[in-house]
């Protein structure tokens, strides 16, 4: 934030201490070629004046650094911290840093947050953001401005308006999950999907059931809020509408854990009465009882791709305007719930 009163600069310190600006630099940065007495005096003055070095000026003279902005919906949703952790570590291995933008659900605040962040980063990584999020980005920074900062979308669709997109190949994953379920004798497999979007996961689920001639009715599918509570109530609904179900595939782990709770409340045994498979492969899946079997997304790989894609763009290795697209697969992590 721009401070209204001009901040103390190195020249102020120099003036008050009665030395040159260079001497101040030497004193404050622990450089040699300065007497202990002078150093001490300068430090005192700096303290008194509450001098703080201006990072921009330092950065300008020291050379370029890269900062990427990670935009996500809500860090309290356990998917994001895993991703953020991976991204932050990998970025740091490249000597880059990551600024966090937890946009939250207040649209006005989201805009403001994005706007101020855009000023401070060299690239944007959006994850799990609803498509609208791109629309929230300040016009003048990304559209009016001829040269926008590069945008990478994680878990996006190939059509997304971004310089690069990492897609997640749910189809093969869903098949692996359903193979696992049928191999253990499950046949009446339900699905709890997001009520927000019609996920490709559901298409794959239907295809699989059809191909394998497994029972499917309109009552096989449930849609709920992408939250823990959504999962709880979906499980209750499922128990009412499709009581014969012996397995259920869930849109994400948070909902799946909710479903676990819903079943537990109803006295339905998991995996005894019904098997549950989540999606995301979150660590929290190991905290609950039974531990959640899940289609796991490799967040480290996702983060790795994000960094590479950004690097390609910033370095110019990828010609501007070329829309990079990548995909990563899912791995079925079998724990206790299925």
CB 72 within 8 A of CB 102: yes
Rg (CA), the chain: 26
Residues 46-65 within binding reach of DNA (CB under 7 A):
51-54, 57-58, 60-62
> Based on the number of CB atoms within 10 Å of its own CB, is 259 exposed (0-12), middle (13-18) or buried (19 or more)?
buried
Rounded to a whole number of angstroms, the minimum distance from the CB of residue 67 to DNA is 15
Give the chain's largest Cα–Cα span.
88
- CB nearer to DNA: give 36 or 183: 36
Structure tokens at 328: 């990563």
Phi, psi of 68, deg, nearest 5: -115, 145
Residue window 241-280: x/- pattern of binding to its own copies, with contact defined by CB under 8 A? -------------x--xx-xx--xx---------------
Binding mask 105-124 for its own copies (x = CB under 8 A): ----x--xx--xx-xxxx--
Residue 194: closest CA among 155, 141, 161, 243: 155
Of 3 and 218, which has the nearer Cβ to DNA?
3
**Contact between 7 and DNA per CB under 7 A:** yes
Does 15 sit near DNA (CB under 7 A)? no
Q: Among residues 16, 34, 125, 313, which is the contact residue for DNA, using CB under 7 A?
A: 34
240's CB contacts (< 8 A; 6+ apart) are: none
Question: Residue 264 in contact with residue 256, Cβ under 8 Å?
Answer: no
Token representation of residue 220: 């096989």
DSSP secondary structure letter of residue 6: P
Which partner in its own copies, DNA, none is near 94 (CB below 5 to 8 A by kind)?
its own copies
Considering the complex, state which of residue 94 and residue 210 has its C-beta at the smaller distance from its own copies: 94
For 11, the 3-state DSSP assignment is: helix
End-to-end Cα spacing for the chain = 52
Q: Smallest distance, Å, CB 53 to its own copies?
A: 8
Contact between 166 and 306 under an 8 Å Cβ cutoff? The reply is: yes
Site string for its own copies, 299-318 (x = CB under 8 A): ---------------xxx--
**Out of its own copies, DNA, none, which partner does residue 183 contact, by CB within 5 to 8 A per kind?**
none
Closer CB to DNA, 13 or 87, in the complex: 13
Per CB under 7 A, which of residues 56..115 are in contact with DNA?
57-58, 60-62
User: Of 139-147, 172-180, 181-189, 197-205, which part binds its own copies (CB under 8 A)?
Assistant: 139-147
- Binds 212, which of DNA, its own copies, none (CB < 5 to 8 A, cut-off by type)? none
Return the residue of 288, 307, 328, 332 that touches its own copies, per CB under 8 A: 288
Q: Distance between CA atoms of 12 and 5, rounded to whole angstroms? A: 14
Please, are residues 74 and 105 in contact by the beta-carbon 8 Å criterion? yes
Quick count: other Cβ atoms within 10 Å of Cβ 298?
A: 16
Give which of DNA, its own copies, none residue 34 binds (C-beta under 5 to 8 Å, depending on kind). DNA
Residue 33 as a binder of its own copies (CB under 8 A): the answer is no
Q: Which of 25, 67, 195, 304 binds its own copies (CB under 8 A)?
A: 67
- Residue 327: enclosing H or E segment and its boundaries? strand 324-328
Q: Using CB under 7 A as the criterion, which residues of the chain lie in contact with DNA when the complex forms?
A: 6-7, 9-11, 18-23, 25-26, 28-29, 31, 33-35, 37-38, 51-54, 57-58, 60-62
């Amino acid at each position: 934030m721009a401070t209204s009163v001009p901040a103390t600069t190195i020249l102020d310190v120099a003036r008050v201490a009665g030395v040159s600006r260079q001497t101040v630099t030497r004193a404050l940065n622990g450089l040699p070629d300065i007497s202990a007495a002078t150093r001490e005096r300068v430090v005192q003055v700096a303290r008194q004046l509450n001098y703080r070095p201006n990072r921009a000026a330092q950065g300008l003279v020291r050379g370029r650094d890269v900062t990427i902005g990670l935009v996500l919906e809500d860090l309290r949703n356990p998917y994001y911290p895993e991703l953020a952790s991976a991204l932050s570590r990998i970025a740091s291995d490249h000597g880059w840093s990551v600024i966090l933008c937890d946009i939250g659900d207040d649209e006005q605040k989201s805009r403001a947050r994005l706007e101020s962040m855009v000023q401070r980063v060299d690239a944007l990584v959006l994850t799990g953001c609803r498509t609208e999020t791109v629309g929230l980005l300040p016009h003048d920074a990304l559209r009016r401005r001829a040269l926008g900062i590069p945008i990478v979308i994680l878990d996006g669709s190939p059509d997304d308006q971004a310089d690069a997109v990492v897609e997640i190949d749910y189809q093969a994953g869903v098949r692996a999950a359903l193979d696992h379920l049928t191999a253990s004798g499950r046949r009446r497999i339900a699905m709890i999907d997001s009520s927000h979007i019609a996920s490709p996961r559901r298409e794959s689920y239907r295809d699989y059931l059809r191909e394998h001639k497994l029972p499917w009715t309109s009552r096989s599918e449930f849609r709920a809020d992408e939250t823990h509570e959504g999962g709880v109530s979906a499980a209750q609904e499922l128990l009412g509408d499709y009581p014969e179900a012996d397995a259920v595939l869930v849109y994400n782990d948070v909902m799946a854990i909710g479903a676990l709770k819903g079943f537990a409340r109803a006295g339905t045994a998991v995996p005894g009465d019904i098997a549950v498979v989540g999606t995301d492969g979150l660590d929290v899946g190991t905290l609950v009882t039974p531990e959640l079997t899940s289609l796991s997304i490799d967040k480290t790989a996702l983060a790795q791709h994000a960094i590479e894609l950004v690097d390609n763009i910033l370095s110019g290795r990828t010609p501007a305007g070329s829309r990079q697209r990548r995909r990563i697969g899912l791995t079925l992590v079998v724990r206790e719930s299925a």
